Structure formats: structure tokens, C-alpha cells
Amino acid sequence: MALLLMLFTFIPSSLAIFEITAALPCSSNEVPFASTCIPSDQSYLTAYKFLLANLPSWDVSNAATLGFHNNTGEQVDGLDDGIATLGINISLTTKQSQPWAVDVPEDIFNEYVVPYAHVNEARNNWRPFLTKAVNAIFEANPQISLFTVPDVVYLLNDNLWHTGVLGNNITFKSSQTPLIYDPMSTIVFGYASCTGVSILFADALRAAGVPARIAGTPAWNRVQENGNHNWVEVYDHQTKDWYFIEAAPAGGGESLTNPCDKWFCSPDRMENGTQVYSTRWEFDTTGTVYPLAWDLGNKEVPGVDRTDYYQKVCNKC
């Protein structure tokens, strides 16, 4: 706690914020959150403090490497930069420049767009790489109307995997977690199982300013031998609700609006009270954990219990 207070106290926000160019309703030194324009340095500090206050233990020991310094002045060879703090700045730029991101509430944005990780995947500098990739997709498809979150989700899911924007084609290959599941490893190897392609897709959505998180079950029918699965949940600020979809390599042709077009959303998969969770950055008041099928003893990844929702919608399919 003393470390956190020290870091909060000594951040010179004027140095921590890089130049943000606004394309939407706020001025160049403000960030839009619904109907409010918040000064960019204040937005940065709020996100910074939120990430820092909820670091898992393995990131606390690497706080400075991630960019959480007690002095963020310019350093030689860029040693002041870190993937977390660079990610905050890029996220704020994206929020100013993409119309579907403008009205995302600050709490949702800080928890489901700004974070640099979902679970315990290797930490790497995916944000600038994927921001460039998703922008390339947008630029290559000017004929596509991007007015809503579903518009963005479908365009990215259709064009992320086999168009060359990642420098490699990505396919599904089972049983790769925990060998390959961070986004850059998935890109380099060109394959991953459901966890890896889900994390890559969720990170691409975050790079586009769309709130996204990982969802899944550690065991179908609460029987480990039946296997596990992960997919992606997306927040639509217009409906104020979460929807789910798979990364195309794991399950193409799916929509955000029809739960029953996912192969796993069925009564037989929900038998015996199959439990489903989604990830988040901050623990809720009950301390809900996101269970990692590859590391069930790990209790450090915050979760949201989504079992009731999935039992309800999938038992109707």
C-alpha cells in the first residue's frame, strides 16, 4: 500500500500525458465520456490509479517495468515508458478519435478498454501493434458503415485473421494453453486454442476502443474431463449490456444478438449447472475469481459470475 501511495503522490501528470489529437466533441486536451469532457491529464491519472491499485502480485513486482514510476519525467532510451502507461495514452487517443468509443462510460472504459491484460498471459506491447492493425482494417473498408459497436465487432472479426494485417494468418489449434495464449505469441506462431484467439480478439477490440473481456467455463457440466472453453464478451454502451461471440478461428458465422448461434450455447452444455465467468480488472465486493482452467489454484484474476445469465439463455436454445 505504501508503494501505491508513493506512486500516486509523485506522478507529474503534465509529463505523463502525451499529446492527444481530438477528432470528436471535446477540445484537444479533453477526453469524451458520454456527455462529459474530462481533462486528459485527469483521465490519465484516473486510469493510472485504477490499474495500479488492482495489480496482481506478479505485476506488482514489475510495476516500474510496466510504467508505474514515482517519477515519470523523460528518461534516457525511453526507460520511463511501460506497456501499461503507454496503453493508457493510446486508449485515450482512441476514445477521442472513434465515434463508437465516445459514449463509453469512464468506469467501463477503464476496466475493459485500458487494461493491458485479461488473465495471467505474458505481458507484451500489443496495444500500438493492434491499434495500427485495426486502423488498417477500417481504412481498407471505407464502404462499411461503422455507427454501432456490432458494426465494429463484425468488421474486425471478419478481417483480422487472414488479411495480412497482423503479418501472419491465425488459425485455431487445440490444446495450446498455456504454451501459446498471449496476443503476440499467437501472432508469431500463427495459431492458438480458444483462450489465445479470444485474448487476441478482445485485445483488438480494446485497441479499437470497444470494451471487451474474456468469458468461459473451467469445466463443461462441472466435470473437468468434459473440457473447458473461452470466448469474448463485448459491451454495447447503447444498450448498456454485454453480448458474447467467439473469435472467428474458433467459431465463425456468429452474431452478438443470437446466443443460440454459438455451438456451446445449448442445454446439454449447461447440464449439471455449468459455471461461466468473465474477467475484470478489479475484484468485486464478494471477491469473485475468474477460474483459470490451466491454473485452477490461481486466485488472483478477478471475475464476474455469469452462470445465471448463460444458464438462462442457453437452456432456451
- Series of mean pLDDT values for 10-residue runs along the chain (317 residues): 41 36 67 86 92 95 88 47 92 92 94 98 97 97 91 97 97 96 98 98 98 98 95 96 97 93 97 98 96 96 98 98
Cα dihedral 66, 97, 38, 86, rounded to 10, equals 10
H-helix or E-strand containing 13? helix 13-16
Check if the beta carbon of residue 7 is closer than 8 Å to that of residue 68.
yes
pLDDT number for residue 77: 53
Q: How far apart are CA 216 and CA 57, in angstroms?
A: 23
pLDDT number for residue 79: 57
H-helix or E-strand containing 252? none
Give me 191's grid cell. 495459431
pLDDT number for residue 20: 35
pLDDT number for residue 141: 95
pLDDT number for residue 1: 42
pLDDT number for residue 78: 54
Q: How far apart are CA 231 and CA 244, in angstroms?
A: 7
Check if the beta carbon of residue 119 is closer than 8 Å to that of residue 279.
yes
pLDDT number for residue 72: 46
- DSSP-derived pairing of the beta strands 212-217 and 229-236: antiparallel
Q: How many CA atoms lie within 13 A of 148 on its CB side?
A: 8
Residue 41: CB atoms within 10 A of its CB come to: 19
Give me 159's grid cell. 478481417
Check if the beta carbon of residue 54 is closer than 8 Å to that of residue 283.
yes
pLDDT number for residue 69: 83
